[in-house]
Amino acid sequence: MNKRIFFIIVFLFLFIYSIGNATGYLVIIGGGNRTEEIMKKIIELGGKAPKVLIIPNASSEPTETAQRLVEEFTKLGIQSIKTFFGDRDKANDNNYVKQFADCNIVFFSGGDQNRLTKDLLNTKLLDLIKLIYYSGGVISGTSAGAAVMSKMMITGDEYKNKDSSNPFSTIETGNVAVAEGFGFLEDVIIDQHFIKRKRLNRLISLVIENSDKLGIGIDESTAIVVYPDRTFEVIGESQVIVFDTSKSPDLRENERDKIGGSNIIMHILLPKQKFDLNTKRVLR
């Protein structure tokens, strides 16, 4: 692919993105062991000729992580697998990035989501990944690779509580650190390892502070599959919890920065259940 064609592809992405009609799929995994059901779903959504791009940048050991993921996809029958190894400079290098233009599945590894956004946010590679999504491809990620899916990304840090042995022990304003994520979902906040690591406090805090957004906590070995119509289905072994504060009439904080409210809706979804992000309702 020459540079001119690559620029045409990027321009096409910008046009499609401006319309806002994604035809692709998100498979957002809450971390932990990936079940065969989840991995096969990713491949199934990739169509008859799945071509995978693995991005291991969140990992502290990206080479080893990439190799494990290559082996995992290979065992499931995938023959075309590419891996992005590089930093921000590589992610902005047209001659390097264009080699991934034929991929239709992108998989972000676990690790630290801050590494991932540091290397990819607002780069040509991320533009290409969004084109893949808006053109019918599959974007998936686990753990840190799940956290980056939303526009408002939980970083894992706290502003007030510095006791690492007792993380997110309060429900209060101004404590949960967030940053800009990749924005495949703009009106939700994704949290991961959710039930296993007891992360309710931090997500509840954020949805009270941001009532225009749903909080979606995905447990380990569990995923949500987001379809083009903005419904999602739970697959895997555990549960997904959805918090909705949009109908709470009295979200408030007191003089100690504690926050609360009434009529806060919580859904606990089991595998095979579906949820509509537009209507904020459980479908089955």
What is the reported pLDDT for 9? 55
What is the reported pLDDT for 38? 98
214 Cα distance to chain centroid: 14
Domains of the chain: 3-11+23-273 (3.40.50.880)
What is the reported pLDDT for 2? 56
pLDDT < 50 stretches in the chain: 1, 18-19
What is the reported pLDDT for 17? 52
The angle, 0 to 180 degrees and rounded to 10, between the axes of the packed helices 62-75 and 36-45 is: 80
Q: Which of 84, 146, 143, 158 is nearest to 119 (CA)?
A: 84
What is the reported pLDDT for 284? 78
The model's pTM: 0.93
Distance CA 44, CA 40 (A): 6
Distance CA 57, CA 84 (A): 8
pLDDT tens digits, 173-214: 999 999 999 999 999 999 999 999 999 999 999 999 999 999
- Catalogue the E-assigned strands of 168-210: 176-180, 188-192
What is the reported pLDDT for 20? 56
Distance CA 16, CA 27 (A): 21
Distance CA 18, CA 84 (A): 26
The three-state secondary structure class of 37 is helix
What is the reported pLDDT for 63? 97
What is the reported pLDDT for 22? 81
What is the reported pLDDT for 10? 55
